[in-house]
Amino acid sequence: MLISEYEITIKKSKFIGLLYDIKDVSEVKPILENLKKEHSKARHMPYAYVIGNTAKKTDDKEPHNTAGIQIYNQLVMNNLDHHLLVVIRYYGGTKLGAGNLLRTYLNCAKGCISK
């Protein structure tokens, strides 16, 4: 179940954070498949989830450790067990660089959680 959405734009790249309350791992794949259909023109869709002792994170082809770890850390720091956080990126034509990507994914994850 979608519980929060947050959007920011940096140098024409749009980042959409989506926070879901999930019961178990079996819910993750259908959510991601639906998002990929709905946002078929998005370039990247990094995500992280925590369900008890099970956790996963991915950068989805962004530079290593610029997206997934930022999203995962926000879930852990906010004690969000049984949650999935996805940040969808529509590329705006300008490379942001690893530092900007890291900060943007972090800020999008924070914004989505605090909303």
- The yes-or-no verdict on residue 5 having pLDDT over 90 is yes
pLDDT (0 to 100) of residue 31: 97
Q: Return the DSSP state at 96.
A: -
pLDDT (0 to 100) of residue 115: 75
| Band of pLDDT at residue 17, cut at 50, 70 and 90 | very high
Q: How far is CA 104 from CA 27, 49, 96, in A?
A: 26, 19, 9
Per the prediction, the chain carries an average pLDDT of 95
Q: How far is CA 83 from CA 12, 19, 40, 91, 112, in A?
A: 29, 7, 23, 26, 12
Contact 108, 87 (CB under 8 A): yes
Q: What is the pLDDT of residues 45-56, one digit of tens each?
A: 999 999 999 999
The CATH code for residues 2-114 is 3.30.230.30
Overall average pLDDT of the 7-14 stretch: 95
- The yes-or-no verdict on residue 89 having pLDDT over 90 is yes
Overall average pLDDT of the 81-87 stretch: 98
Q: What is the pLDDT of residues 29-82, one digit of tens each?
A: 999 999 999 999 999 999 999 999 999 999 999 999 999 999 999 999 999 999
21 backbone φψ class: left, alpha, beta (φ>0; ψ -120 to 50): beta
- pTM confidence score: 0.94
